[in-house]
Structure 1
């Protein structure tokens, strides 16, 4: 049986377009649609889909309110469609706080170089959310026991390693955190527990559009005791401050008397903008590998090769565990490659940072 999807949008044209794109995948079936949030709640109750795609601005009931209701009454993965504006970014972050798992720009041409690539990415994101291991389709029934779906790539079981010695962590000079799908909520969970006097600088690499990162940095800064800002060229890494890589660009760490960041355009053919691999690799030279690199929830394998180079130069590598990931892709790549010094549930990452460095 195919992955079952409900599409919610007040535009009949957009609904038909998303239905057509998703139904072109033999493993996905759109089983229903809705024109506003209130209809969405009823359709979800009736049809019990695996995934819901949701617009934000709709009549009768907006998408954020609908997400809150669905997640309270019958939780399941929800993908938001957003406009690439400042207002759209803030609304999307509100939707993620309400329980949505992922988002995409409503104008699909903004997410890929050509139409077919954009369609493929949409289908990939829906499939990834449908395989999410966080949620249950019905009480007591694990997601893995749902009707057959395209199987996720196998993960070689790896037992968590003993915690890195505190002395080894205290010899490090920075914390680097890379993430993608599910990352906005995951980063909030990790960073909000850190004390204002956290003794190391932090670099954050989150796959996110350029129009979203200013609003996201502002939100994190308001939620956290540490300072969080969107990075600009020339920013110095300093204790108790987290620099967020700007969307659409790359954040390079540069050594010297002080470690600074350089923001630059992406090399031709770069898939992720920003890329975890690019920032991780730059830390090999800039910080002589004396870092803790943390890879959180996300689709794909960005961060694995950068982590491999860091590990070869003495870095510590942590990965989020499968059970707490929205999408167990990026951390799985780290674990399968044998690079993880620790494998942690999301709720333990922040406390482990405090224990290791404070």
Structure 2
């Protein structure tokens, strides 16, 4: 299957550079370019690409507005390019809310350690989200309603405008499979007792985490660890956004944080997050990881493994949408310790990589559609 790409950027140099990199892959064909958002909307309707790469800051029509229009008129997988700044992070999160599936730093040296690796990452990202085109685009009408879910106080308000529908691409499936995947399963509690919940995710994770966390009650009885593959410049803005939308508290994890009930700790981008201690006195260790052997920083495997050592059989671990297999080894350690593992199902994933790795290894107890994950959590934990 050839992935047909439309490259959108107001810089002719960047359009040419991205086009040349993508064209090196025999499974990718660049079918056109656009130099502003308005032209991107028009060419998407005309050329029907498999994937669009999109800049955020452009004349005539910016990238976020272009994403919104494309998703309304000609829904297409979109990969955003972003600057690694606070403003760039906020704008990228807005683009994901509008329907974009993933993002990469605009400076290629920020993507990977060398040019060859950065090239492979870009090509792989485009191919992965392009494959979600199979089966067609499936917009989901459920929205994140701030008014009904956010904690609001006179001193605290949110400027976020997260009112866009959550959109995912249907996976390869037969009509019967689709009906089975979308059928709402009535969850039943296992009766198991927990002391911690941990969630690992990557591509498609920001929207998936929003959907899950905004449905948890303010009195959620356990700490929550969040491991999202994301640059360090993005995690403060993402934690702040989640905190403004959720009834639980969400913060970027800091070294020495004591784990408290009803608080979600987001692993800082570019660093590792470990759990240390036992018997209700667990705290977080955040550290720089210069090891070339570790691909992901933060790594789901590393955090899950430390949770297994510290909490033993008292963890509910969930692996959501994401590329690769990060989380599988850590999930194995958790399962060996007696903890419970769940995975997101294929049909609702942006990329069925990480959940598939856990499911294929026989580690997950069940695969759950994204829309149903929070319902299963609340029932299992006993707060639904």
Provide the TM-score with structure 1 as the length reference. Answer: 0.92
Q: 1:37: which partner in 2?
A: 37
Structure 2 partner of 1:136: 136
**CA distance 1:20–1:221, change in 2 (3 Å):** same
For residues 341 and 40 of structure 2, what CA distance do their matches in structure 1 show? 42
SS at match of 2:191: helix
- Structure 2 CA distance for partners of 1:337 and 1:138, relative to 1, 3 Å: closer
Summarize the alignment of residues 43-58 of structure 1 with structure 2, pairs less than 5 Å apart: 43-58=43-58
Alpha-carbon separation, structure 2, partners of 1:353 and 1:134:
30
Q: How much has 1:289 moved relative to structure 2?
A: 3.5
Q: Is the 8 A contact 1:82 1:105 kept in 2?
A: yes
Evaluate the alpha carbon distance shift between residue 343 and residue 131 of structure 1 in structure 2; reply closer, same or farther with a 3 A threshold: same
Match of 2:289 in 1: 266
1:225 counterpart = 2:275: no
**In structure 2, what is the Cα distance between the partners aligned to 1:267 and 1:289?**
31
RMSD, matched Cα? 2.1
Asked if 1:335 is matched to 2:335, the reply is no
Q: Compute the displacement of 1:121 (Å).
A: 0.3
Q: After the TM superposition, which parts of structure 1 deviate over 2 Å for at least 4 consecutive aligned residues? A: 141-145, 161-166
The 3 A distance-change label for structure 1 pair 10 and 329 is same
Distance in 2 (alpha carbons) for counterparts of 1:138 and 1:198: 31
- C-alpha offsets along residues 282-335 of structure 1, whole Å, 9 cap, x if unaligned? 011111241011000000000000000100110100000000000000000011
Residue 287 (structure 1) aligned to one of 290, 311, 317 = 311
For residue 351 of structure 1, report the CA deviation from its aligned partner.
1.1
1:251 counterpart = 2:273: yes
User: 1:174 — aligned with what?
Assistant: 196
Change in CA separation of 1:19 and 1:291 when aligned onto 2, cut-off 3 Å = same
Aligned to 2:229: 207
Residues matched between the structures, number:
342
Render the CA deviation track for 1:218-250: whole Å, top value 9, x for unaligned. 000000000000000111111111000000000
Distance 1:61 1:163 in 2: 45
Structure 1 CA distance for aligned equivalents of residues 260 and 23 of structure 2: 49
Task: Say if 1:179 and 1:297, in contact at 8 Å, map to a contact too.
Answer: yes
Structure 1, unaligned runs of 5 or more: 146-160
Q: Any gaps of 5 or more consecutive residues in structure 2?
A: 140-168, 174-184
Point out the more displaced range, 110-119 or 128-137: 128-137
Alignment of 1:303-314 (within 5 A): 303-314=327-338
Work out the CA distance in 2 between the residues paired with 1:286 and 1:6.
48
- Corresponding residue number in structure 1 for 2:325: 301
1:192 aligns with 2:214: yes
Cα drift, residue 41 of structure 1: 0.4
Change (3 A) 1:176 1:136: same
| TM-score calculated relative to the size of structure 2 | 0.86
Q: After the TM superposition, which residues 111-122 of structure 1 pair with which residues of structure 2 at under 5 Å, given as runs?
A: 111-122=111-122
Kindly state the Cα deviation for residue 166 of structure 1 after the two structures are TM-superposed: 3.2
Query: Matches of 2:205 and 2:123 in 1, distance apart?
Result: 20
- Supply the distance in 2 between the matched residues of 1:234 and 1:12 (Cα, whole angstroms): 47
